[in-house]
Amino acid sequence: MKRVESELITNVEELLEDKKIGFFMGYENGSLPLRTSPCFVKEKEDVQRLVWNCFCTNNLSVYLVSLIPELPAGTKVGILCKGCDSRSLVNLIVEKQLKREDVLIMGISCSGMINIDKLTGNLDGGRILEVEENEEEVILKLDTGEQRFSRKDSLYESCKNCTHPTPSVYDILIRVGEHAPKSVCPDPMIAKFRQKERLERWQIFERELSRCVRCYACRNACPNCYCKECFAEQTKPRWFGLSNELSDVLFYHLVRILHQAGRCVDCGACVRACPEKVDLRLFTRMLVDEVKERFDYEPGLSPNDSHLLGVFSTDDTQEFMVEVD
C-alpha cells in the first residue's frame, strides 16, 4: 500500500507542478481511526496529506456536478477513482452533466473496501493505535494487543460482487494488483431473495424500511442524484408527506429506486451513508441485475454509450400489457 501511496503522491505532485490540473480530489486520514475523508489538494505542499488504504470508501464523483460550474473556466479537476467511482463518473458524462475534458481521472484498480463495522464489531476492546494491511489481511494494532482480520470476509457486500474493479475510463492508472472480474449475475444474495415467497419479500422490504429516518443521506451520497430540486423536496406538488409513516417512507424509496433504473452502478455509497444500516443495495441491485439480464447493459462502461431509458428498440418487451379477452 505504501508503494501505491507514494506513486499517487508523485503523480499528483507532477500534475500540480505542470499546471495540468487545478486541484486534486483524493482521500486523507479522518479524525477517527479506520476513517478517511475526502481531501481537496490545491497546493503542492498539501500533497503529503493524501492517503490510500482499504477505507477510502467515499465515491468522490458525487462532488463533481456541483463543483465544476463554480470553478474558473478551463480548470481541470484531478480525481482519484476506484472502479465504481469511474463508472459513476462515466455515467455523469453519458447524462451530459460533465465534460470528459474537465476531469483528469487518476484510476486505481481497487481490491475492495473494508466494512469498518465488521472490524469494530469483533474487537476484544482496546483502543486502535495503528492499522496495517496486506494482500490477505487487515491487522489492527490495539493497546491490548494485535488482531487480524481476513480481508475477504470483511469486504462490503457491493465490493464482494464488484463487476469491474479496474476503472472503465482513466488517464493515469495505478495498479494495486491484478484482479479478474469476479461478479456473478444475478448476485447470489438477490437470487436468494427472489426465491422467497411474495409475503416474505414484502415483510423484508417493510422491515428494512421501517428503520429509515428519511435523512436523505442515501440520496446525498449518490453521484446519480444531482437534480437541483429533488422530488422528495418538491412542494408543488408535494409527492408525499414528511412523516415517518410507512407509506411516506415507501414512496420515497420506491421512487428513488426507480430513478436509479439503468443508471445505478452498484457502488454501495448509499448503503455506507445510511445511519440506520438499511440494506438499500438489496433493492437497487435487483434493478442492476434486471438491466443486465434483459437489456444486456451495464451503465458507466463507456462515455459514448446512450442512456438506457433514453433510447429504445422496436423489440422491447411488451409482455405486461393488459390482456383483453
Partner 1 sequence: MKEFQPKIVVFCCNWCSYAGADLAGVSRLQIDPNFRIIRTMCSGRIEPEFVLSAFEKGADGVMITGCHPGDCHYISGNYKTLRRYHFMKVLLEELGIDTRRIGLKFISAGEGIEFQNTVNSFVEQVRILGPSNGAYKE
- Binding site residues, partner 1, CB under 8 A: 193-194, 198-203, 205, 231, 237, 239-240, 247, 250-251, 254-255, 257-259, 261-262, 283, 286-287, 290, 294, 308-310, 312-314, 316-318, 320-325
Nearer to partner 1, 121 or 310 (CB): 310
Torsion angle, CA of 122/127/133/139, rounded to 10 degrees?
Answer: -50
Give dist(CA 33, CA 221) in Å, integer.
21
In the complex, least distance from residue 304 CB atom to partner 1, rounded to whole angstroms = 20
Question: Following DSSP, what letter does each residue of 135-155 receive, concatenated?
Answer: SSEEEEEETTEEEEEETGGGB
In the complex, least distance from residue 42 CB atom to partner 1, rounded to whole angstroms = 41
In the complex, least distance from residue 273 CB atom to partner 1, rounded to whole angstroms = 21
- Which residues have C-beta within 8 Å of that of residue 318, sequence separation ≥ 6? none
Closest of 222, 185, 188, 110 to residue 155, by C-alpha: 110
Give dist(CA 54, CA 60) in Å, integer.
15
Nearer to partner 1, 180 or 324 (CB): 324
User: Do 139 and 130 form a contact (C-beta atoms < 8 A)?
Assistant: no
Give dist(CA 215, CA 78) in Å, integer.
30
Nearer to partner 1, 130 or 245 (CB): 245
In the complex, least distance from residue 319 CB atom to partner 1, rounded to whole angstroms = 9
Nearer to partner 1, 63 or 205 (CB): 205
In the complex, least distance from residue 201 CB atom to partner 1, rounded to whole angstroms = 4
In the complex, least distance from residue 184 CB atom to partner 1, rounded to whole angstroms = 18
Give dist(CA 46, CA 180) in Å, integer.
34
Nearer to partner 1, 134 or 247 (CB): 247
Nearer to partner 1, 89 or 288 (CB): 288
DSSP strand E in the chain: where? 23-29, 36-41, 77-81, 103-108, 128-133, 137-142, 145-150, 172-174
Nearer to partner 1, 155 or 288 (CB): 288
In the complex, least distance from residue 252 CB atom to partner 1, rounded to whole angstroms = 10
